[in-house]
Each structure stands twice: as structure tokens, then as C-alpha cells.
Amino acid sequence: MSIFDQLIIPPTAHHTDLLNIFLVFSMLLFIPYASVLLGASIFSVYFKYAGRKRSDSIYLRFSKDILDKLILKLSVGVGVIVVPIFSITFVYAQLLYNAQVISVSILLLSSLLFTAGIIFLSKFKNSVNLENIFSSIRNIVPDKNKIPDNVKTLESENYSSSNQSGITGLIVLICATFLYTGAVSIAENPPKWDSVTNILGFLISPDTWLNFALFVTGALSLTSASILFLFFRWNGGVKDMSEAYKKFVTRFSVLIAFISTLFIPFFLIIKFLITPEIALSKGVFIYSGLALISLLLVCNFFYAIIRNSEIKWSSAAFLVLIIAFTFIIIKDQVTLANALKKHLLVVNHVADSIENVKFPKNVKATEISGEELYTTKCSACHQFDQKLTGPPYDVTVPKYNGDVKKLAAYIYNPVKIDPGYPAMPNQGVTMKEAEAVAQFLIDKVKQETGK
């Protein structure tokens, strides 16, 4: 975190609004693509494994078609997943400036894992393509003995590397997703910041698991909807599909799509129920409602496909599902903005002070009222004539003999003085503010005690 602390500057209020908008756009890119990547690699790795085990050509073909259609090339994956997740991490680091919360470190870890996962999966995709080349060589050369040895060696190397990269990629991606969903859910829940301070606390937090479950069901739903859409509708779909294959793909995808889409509202509602009150607002209700309605509509489309095998509904299902995802993403961002409101008030304030130090012309000396500062920042610990957490001013201030600069220096950067008291925490005031409050204290003490 210490590198981050130096890299990250606190956002001003205006800057915060921009960050929120930027966050929504990054997520609109990241969440759908990451979801489909996760779902597609689950399906593709599974059907490849099961297809080899049972020598089932339909399974093997399904695995390969998913790889072709749904798993992105490395360069595209970097553009739509890696860049957005790093941007998201950077925005969170700024929004959560100075907050004692584990989310930013976890997000950084998740970004690195997403990068690794995408690299493994593109390796998987390449080696499956190679496998197909080898099998066409076998088809052309009927006599196995005529295949040169080095080709055979390459083939068996490729075989084991495709197994490894597929499974490794999938596991890394699952871990990345888990960390991402957890980090985001903790950030939305400030009351949890203090209790979830290490990886163990993070692992056992129910919010993390709930958000993960929501993401995975969303991923399965969007992936199967994409399969239906891309295999059968988009650009004429996949070529040369046998009837048996078509039937298998449709039945499998629509069933997974239907069931997982039914689960999303369930998880959304539980999540809504455990959202802390400070994070709720009218916007959260409205966007949740819109998401639920769209999901219901999507379920209807899937049901139409199941009942009447009317594959034409897959385009509508896909489109409305994307709309539902958009509503959920906006809802999450509204929740986050609500949850961080109090935290950001302080952060924006710090940012303004930094800006004022950098551009002092913005400071109008008359605007800083020493008395107001005293009431808002000091009176919780200090009275003039009695001891609270801090010593009474009537006792301490006269030590400064009216030296405003010296007193301001202490207020600006308190040091340990009296062993009978704890150290005074730094109040984060600017030098100008410190001077204003010092002047006020000196005047007031003089007025009251004559000293």
C-alpha cells in the first residue's frame, strides 16, 4: 500500500464525480467481457476434458467452437479486460484514499491474476488450434508410420500443454474473479472495513461469497446467452453444424441460461437486504427494480426457446440481458457512491487543502474562521476551562506568550508534550487554518483569563 499512498492523490469533489463516471464506463466494458471469459473457459475446459474421456466428438467440437467464438485473442483481452480492471483499481485507490480498507490491495492482486489468466487462456486457444492442425494431418496421412517423429513429439507436447494451460487459466481466472467481487463488496460496506483486515477475514466474509455467487451466475447466464446468439444468429452463426450438434448446443445453453438467470434476482435480493443502510438510496431501489424487470423478461425469452425451440428469441434475450447487466452495474456504482459519501467528504476536504497549498491564490484569508474550526475540529477534545481528552486551553495556550506562529506550528503538526495525556492526533489542518485557530485561541484565552 505504501507505493500507492505516494502515487495516489486525494480527489477533489469535482474530480470524484469524474471518477465515478469513469468507473461506470470501465465496468460496462470489464464486467460483461470478464463474465463471458469466465463462463466460456468453464464450458470449454470442461467439454474438452469430458469429450476426450468419452471420445465424444460433439463435446470436443463444442469446446472448440466456444474457444473460437467466445475466448478473445490476447490483444483484445488486454483491451477489454486488463486495461479496464487496472483502471478500476486505480479509481478505487483514489476513492478509498487514506481509508483503512483491504479492497485496493486485493483489487491490484486481482488485476494481476486477470492478466495471467488471459495469457494462459490464449495459450490454450492456440494449442487447441494446433491440435486441429495435427488431426487434419492425421486425416491426410492414413498410414500413421509415415508421420515424422518430430511431428509426433510436437503433437504430444502440445497435447499436454493445452491441458495444462486450459486448467491453469481457468483456476487463475476463478481466483481473480473471487478477489475482484470480494474487494468490491467490502468497499461498498464501510462498517466492515475495520473487521475485514486480512486475507482470512476476507475469505470468510459472507459478502465476498455472495457477490462471487452473483458474478458466477451472471457469467453463466451471459455466456450461454452469448453462445445461443453467436452460434445461431450473429453473422449467420457457426458454419456446418449437424442437426444433432445444433440440438445439443441449443438444449445445453438454454437450460444453463434459464436456470442461472433465475438465480440472479435471488442473489440480488439477498445482497440488497444486507446492504448497509447508509448505502441505500432511491437510485439503488430504482436500478434494482429495472434490473429485476429486465431479468424477468430475459427468463421469458429463454422459456420461449425451451418450449417452442424458437431460437430467434436468442437475440432479444442477449440484448435485454446486456441491459440488465447495465442496470446492475449502475446500481452498484450508486451504492458505492452512497457508501463512500462520508469518507469522501473528508477526502475532498484534504484534496482542497492540498490544492490551496499549491495554488494559494484560491485561499481567501477571511474565509477561514478560527472559531468555526475550533468548534468543528477541536471542541470534541478541548474546552477552555476543563480537561477533556486534551488539556484545557486556559492552561496550555498561555505557554505560547501570544506567539501565533509557534502555536500554529504545534497545531499543524502536534508533537508529544505532556506525559499525562495521550499524543494529540494530527488534525489535518492547513497552515493557514492552523494560524487562524491559533489566533482565535490566543485572543479568547486572553479575553477570559487576561493571560
Question: Could you say whether residue 411 binds ligand HEC (CB under 6 A)?
Answer: yes
Question: Could you say whether residue 423 binds ligand HEC (CB under 6 A)?
Answer: yes
Question: Could you say whether residue 404 binds ligand HEC (CB under 6 A)?
Answer: no
Size of the site for ligand HEC (CB under 6 A): 25
Q: Which is nearer to ligand HEC, 17 or 403 (CB)?
A: 403
The cell numbers describing 240, all together, are 456446418
CA gap 185, 212 in Å, rounded: 9
Site for ligand HEC in 344-403 (CB under 6 A): 373, 377-378, 380-382, 389-391, 396-397, 399
SS3 9: coil
Shortest spacing between CB 448 and ligand HEC, in angstroms: 15
Place of cell 483502471: 87
Site for ligand HEC in 57-96 (CB under 6 A): none
Q: Which is nearer to ligand HEC, 13 or 417 (CB)?
A: 417
Question: Could you say whether residue 428 binds ligand HEC (CB under 6 A)?
Answer: no
Q: Which is nearer to ligand HEC, 280 or 381 (CB)?
A: 381
Binding residue (CB under 6 A) for ligand HEC from 401, 425, 426, 451:
425
The residue type at 99: A
Shortest spacing between CB 271 and ligand HEC, in angstroms: 36
Question: Could you say whether residue 416 binds ligand HEC (CB under 6 A)?
Answer: yes
SS3 396: helix
Shortest spacing between CB 440 and ligand HEC, in angstroms: 9
Q: Which is nearer to ligand HEC, 117 or 390 (CB)?
A: 390
Could you tell me which of 38, 178, 55 has the C-alpha nearest to residue 106? Answer: 178
Shortest spacing between CB 5 and ligand HEC, in angstroms: 22
Among 80-88, 119-127, 184-192, 415-423, the segment contacting ligand HEC (CB under 6 A): 415-423
Binding residue (CB under 6 A) for ligand HEC from 135, 309, 422, 446:
422
Binding residue (CB under 6 A) for ligand HEC from 22, 234, 252, 421:
421
Binding residue (CB under 6 A) for ligand HEC from 7, 151, 269, 417:
417
Shortest spacing between CB 444 and ligand HEC, in angstroms: 11
Binding mask 178-217 for ligand HEC (x = CB under 6 A): ----------------------------------------
Q: Which is nearer to ligand HEC, 134 or 384 (CB)?
A: 384
29-53 per-residue burial string, b: 16 or more CB within 10 A, e: under 16: bbbbbbbbbbbbbbbbbbbbeebee
Q: Which is nearer to ligand HEC, 38 or 408 (CB)?
A: 408
CA gap 13, 303 in Å, rounded: 47
Among 66-74, 104-112, 354-362, 414-422, the segment contacting ligand HEC (CB under 6 A): 414-422
Shortest spacing between CB 32 and ligand HEC, in angstroms: 47
Among 77-85, 150-158, 243-251, 409-417, the segment contacting ligand HEC (CB under 6 A): 409-417
Site for ligand HEC in 242-261 (CB under 6 A): none
Question: Could you say whether residue 46 binds ligand HEC (CB under 6 A)?
Answer: no
Binding footprint of ligand HEC on the chain (CB under 6 A) = 373, 377-378, 380-382, 389-391, 396-397, 399, 410-411, 416-418, 421-425, 427, 429, 437
